[in-house]
Chains A and B, each alone.
Chain A
Amino acid sequence: QVQLQQWGAGLLKPSETLSLTCAVSGESLSGYFWSWFRQSPGKGLEWIGETYDGGSSHYNPSLKSRVSISLDTSKNHFFLKLNSVTAADTALYFCARGLRRQLYFDSGSYHNRGYFDYWGQGTLVTVSS
């Protein structure tokens, strides 16, 4: 049974760095793509970005200058870092596994098409001075 367990600091001050970890059990990181999403209070879902073993990371243009997603295959973990947070980054953050259905080449890199079948439980991150 695949499980994603996530954790990280829940309260940050403006300008600090948000760091979250997602631990995957029941399956290797290889062969899938791994994503982060967030949901601001009372709002809808937003894709932050993703990465996969042996491939490049892709980010939402709205966050691209501040975000980094990486993997540690030895630990079966993947990570989210978001720099210079503000109150607008206050949200419930989720990690998720992407099951690849197609790999395609566009704008100089490979991208995944697929669907998100397993999700972490969510981590509430609040940014407040």
Chain B
Amino acid sequence: DIVLTQTPLSLSATPGQPASISCKSSQSLLRTGGRFHLDWFFQRPGLAPQLLIYEVSNRFSGVPEKFSGSGSGTHFTLNISRVEAEDVGVYYCMQSEQVPRTFGQGTKVEIK
């Protein structure tokens, strides 16, 4: 199975300041069909995950431009350009390179 390791596991962000979450894969994800199959989700407690970024760097419909993704191979990053109170929750990376699909442990983002 592909293991995804996120860092940090918790992040206390200053409103209006940037934040960054890393996701490292135990295996290099292949660029298949011109895409890396690594996605980012946001989840609030008790609610369903929401897709933020798909295929490393594509923002899903309705996702604010302050969210961006980058990376390749084994190292991927989610950036939030200006953290706001509404961004509080848990962020997960997920790979769909192979089954079983796997998630990172999650990064809990709080506001200072």
Contact = CB atoms under 8 A, between A and B. Distances in A.
Contact of B48 (A47, A94, A104): A94
A121 B48 contact: yes
Contacts of A112: 96
B19 to A, nearest CB: 19
Number of contact residues on B: which range applies? 20 to 34
A31 interface: no
A113 B48 contact: no
Interface hub of A44, A61, A111 (most chain B Cβ within 10 A):
A44
A115 B33 CA distance: 14
Contact of B102 (A47, A58, A101, A122): A47
Contacts of A46: 103
B107 to A, nearest CB: 11
Contact of A44 (B33, B46, B103): B103
Given A102-B32, A113-B37, A117-B60, A61 B100 contact: yes
A102 B46 CA distance: 31
A127 B98 CA distance: 30
Interface string A77-121: 000000000000000101010000110101000011111110111
A88 to B, nearest CB: 17
A115 B54 contact: yes
Contacts of B97: 113
Given A45-B92, A101-B37, A58 B99 contact: yes
A73 interface: no
Interface of B: 32-33, 35, 37, 39, 41, 43, 46-51, 54-55, 60, 92, 94, 96-106
9 closest A-B pairs by CB: A119-B48, A115-B54, A47-B101, A45-B103, A60-B100, A102-B33, A115-B39, A113-B37, A44-B106
